Each structure stands twice: as structure tokens, then as C-alpha cells.
């Protein structure tokens, strides 16, 4: 378990880098919405994992979709990572959480890297690149830095790029963030849980796996040039779910000997075994957004028996960091397992 003071430092470092304070709210993924749904596992899920939500019986699910940026200003249309946190409610009142984002890889390997990153990736004044310099970029066959979004005066882009230029392990995550765009709908993006977990099968065999949610309706982003739409995702999803349910497939990739199990910056190749673990159906936007969209609190280490965290240092650090953040903002605590597994 990461030292509590380290967890506090992690949260503080994120808070310090906000354009303005957000008391009582999450320091990142501040803007979000709660949604209710149901998950039904596939026929084969139970042969890979004994966790209750994979046994085939329908399971109630509470979710929160969110925009990655911290801060109270909502800019749905800006290029940004989206989050999908899912809580599978188990029969004994406990739950198993799965937290995923549209970014498939993280950009730092461990807590030390993260602290260094935060020092470098600070908010700096950001303005449009001069047109002469842009022409110079084109002559060098380079793509100039993006134009600022409407009313965007500060950005961490320059610092982040500087960090990527110095550390190759971070380049993939940072590059993906640069390209990520804005989805048409929360239900039309792929979300990845990034970290490796170990699942136990009924015969006792343990396998290292990574989870991803694939939208049945397909991935679709809005036009990259269009950065003017600030608030559309909430209404879009509400309208969508009134017309018909939205669905996601849960895909589980099984890692092999030699794969980077504990390194969240390294993706697994498409040549790994891929199991379809089940279907998630979004039924309706939660009626009580304060409780189910804001104060609800997830933790990637809250796992049903049958699923265990790997030794991924970022996953471990999130255990403490999420609890600290929850306390600071007055989020609702949720039951941990009786045996308190994975909380130590």
C-alpha cells in the first residue's frame, strides 16, 4: 500500500495544477454524469473468472462518465480524455469497480515518474503560434502546435511535450492524448482500464488480463476542427437512452509470459487472446445526479473475489489517492470487502 502521505501528495500535486480551485469536487474528471445500467456476462466468462458478476446472472451497474480535465469550466468539445467508471453491485452489498478511460496507455510508469511529470507539465500561458513560424514548421515537414481553444489562455501542452521528448516510455500515452479528440457521445468511445489484473478461474488457474469496453454503436468523434460545443454530452446521452439503450462489450485480453504486466505505459499487442466477457447495457441517466453522479466514489482496487490487482505501481498508488480525494471532497464512502483484500 502506498504510504498515505504519498497519496496525499499525489492528490495535492494535481490540485495545485488546476486553473482554479474546485472545493468539494474531484480535482480531475470534475465534470461527469451518473448512469444506471445492467451487465450480463457471456457464456464463457465464468470459465475464466469466478467473480460473481461473471457468473452469467444479470448484475446492476452504477456508472459515471466524465471529462478528464480538472476544473469547473465545462468544455465537452475540446480534445480530452473521457472516463467510464463502472461499479458492479454484488449480491452481498459489496461491489467490484472497473475504472476505464479513452486513453489506452498511461504516460508514467510509477509514482516517482508522476511527480516529475507534474513538476514539468505545469499550466503555462498558451497562445496561437505566429503564422511565420507555422510556415517554417511546414517547410521542415513538421505539424505546428494546435491552435488554442476558444478563450483558452493557459495549457500544459508545452510542458507535457517537453516531458515526452525526454522520456520514451511516456511518448505513446502523451501522443495518444494529443490525438484523442471529443466523442459524439459518451456511448460512442472505447474505454480501457489500462492496468493489469489477475483473474482466477474455477480450476484455480490465474491469468493476467486487461479489460476494455467496446461500444456496440461504434467509436465516433466530432469534427476535430469544431471546438465550440461546450455542453452537449449530458443531453446527448439522456436523449439517446430515452430512445434506445446503449451497449458496450467487455473485452478481456490475456497477457503472456514476457508482456509488461506491471507497466501501464506499454500496451499489449493485438495478437493476444481476446475473450468477450459480457455485455453492459446503459438503461437511464441516474435521477439523483448529486448522489450518483457527483458524490459516488470509485476505487480501482475495489475488486470482487476472483480478481486481484497486479503489482502495477500506478494501480497501487490509486488506492490511496482515490480515498484521499474522496475524503477531501466529501464523497460517499462505499463498503470494502469483509476480508479487506487489496486495501493493504
Q: Where do contacts with another protein occur on this chain (CB under 8 A)?
A: 127-128, 131, 134-135, 137-143, 145, 147-148, 150, 161, 164-169, 171-172, 174-176, 205-206, 208, 225-226, 228, 254, 256-259, 267, 269-274
Q: Which is nearer to another protein, 42 or 297 (CB)?
A: 42
Minimal distance, residue 238 CB to another protein, in Å: 26
Q: Which is nearer to another protein, 128 or 335 (CB)?
A: 128
Q: Which is nearer to another protein, 23 or 204 (CB)?
A: 204
Q: Which is nearer to another protein, 207 or 337 (CB)?
A: 207
Minimal distance, residue 117 CB to another protein, in Å: 12
Residues 6+ apart with CB under 8 A from 16: 118
Minimal distance, residue 283 CB to another protein, in Å: 30
- The three-state (H, E, C) secondary structure of 109-126, written as one string: CCHHHHHHHHHHCCCEEC
Q: Which is nearer to another protein, 175 or 334 (CB)?
A: 175
Taking alpha carbons only, the member of 243, 255, 320 closest to residue 283 is 243
Taking alpha carbons only, the member of 80, 57, 55, 84 closest to residue 70 is 80
Q: Angle CA(217)–CA(220)–CA(226) in degrees, nearest 5?
A: 150
- Integer angstrom CA distances of residue 275 from 45, 209, 210, 215, 219: 8, 10, 10, 15, 20
Contact, 268 vs 284, CB < 8 A? no
Q: Is 309 helix (H, G, I), strand (E, B) or coil?
A: strand
Minimal distance, residue 277 CB to another protein, in Å: 15
Minimal distance, residue 250 CB to another protein, in Å: 17
Minimal distance, residue 308 CB to another protein, in Å: 13
Minimal distance, residue 202 CB to another protein, in Å: 14
Q: Which is nearer to another protein, 58 or 162 (CB)?
A: 162
- The DSSP symbol for 284 reads E
Q: Angle of helix 313-329 relative to helix 4-16, nearest 10 degrees?
A: 70
Q: Which is nearer to another protein, 90 or 194 (CB)?
A: 194
Distance CA 247, CA 313 (A): 32
Amino acid at each position: 500500500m502506498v504510504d498515505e502521505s504519498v497519496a496525499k501528495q499525489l492528490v495535492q500535486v494535481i490540485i495545485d495544477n488546476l486553473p482554479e480551485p474546485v472545493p468539494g469536487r474531484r480535482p480531475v474528471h470534475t465534470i461527469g454524469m451518473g448512469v444506471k445500467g445492467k451487465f450480463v456476462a457471456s457464456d464463457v466468462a465464468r470459465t475464466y473468472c469466478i467473480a460473481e458478476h461473471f457468473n452469467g446472472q444479470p448484475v446492476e451497474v452504477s456508472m459515471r462518465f466524465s471529462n478528464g480535465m480538472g476544473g469547473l469550466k465545462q468544455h465537452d468539445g475540446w480534445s480530452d480524455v473521457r472516463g467510464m467508471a463502472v461499479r458492479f453491485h454484488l449480491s452481498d452489498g459489496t461491489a467490484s469497480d472497473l475504472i476505464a478511460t479513452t486513453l489506452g496507455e498511461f504516460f508514467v510508469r510509477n509514482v516517482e515518474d508522476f511527480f516529475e511529470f507534474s513538476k514539468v507539465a505545469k499550466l503555462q500561458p498558451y497562445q496561437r503560434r505566429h503564422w511565420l513560424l507555422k510556415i517554417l514548421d511546414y517547410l521542415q515537414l513538421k505539424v505546428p502546435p494546435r491552435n488554442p481553444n476558444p478563450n483558452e489562455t493557459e495549457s500544459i501542452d508545452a510542458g507535457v511535450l517537453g516531458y515526452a521528448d525526454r522520456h520514451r516510455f511516456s511518448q505513446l500515452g502523451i501522443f495518444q492524448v494529443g490525438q484523442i479528440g471529443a466523442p459524439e457521445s459518451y456511448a460512442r468511445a472505447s474505454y480501457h482500464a489500462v492496468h493489469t489484473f489477475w483473474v482466477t478461474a474455477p480450476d484455480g488457474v490465474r491469468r493476467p488480463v486487461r479489460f476494455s469496453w467496446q461500444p456496440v454503436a461504434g467509436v465516433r468523434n466530432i469534427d476535430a476542427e469544431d471546438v465550440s460545443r461546450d455542453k452537449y454530452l449530458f443531453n446527448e446521452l439522456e436523449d439517446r437512452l430515452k430512445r434506445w439503450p446503449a451497449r458496450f462489450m467487455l473485452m478481456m485480453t490475456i497477457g503472456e509470459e514476457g508482456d509488461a504486466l506491471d507497466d501501464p505505459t506499454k500496451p499489449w499487442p493485438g495478437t493476444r487472446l481476446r475473450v468477450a466477457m459480457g455485455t453492459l447495457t446503459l438503461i437511464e441517466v441516474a435521477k439523483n445526479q448529486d448522489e450518483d453522479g457527483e458524490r459516488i466514489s470509485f476505487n480501482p482496487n475495489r475488486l470482487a473475489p476472483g480478481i486481484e490487482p497486479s503489482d502495477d505501481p500506478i494501480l497501487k498508488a490509486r488506492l490511496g489517492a482515490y480515498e484521499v480525494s474522496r475524503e477531501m471532497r466529501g464523497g460517499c464512502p462505499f463498503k470494502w470487502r469483509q476480508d479487506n483484500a487489496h486495501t493493504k
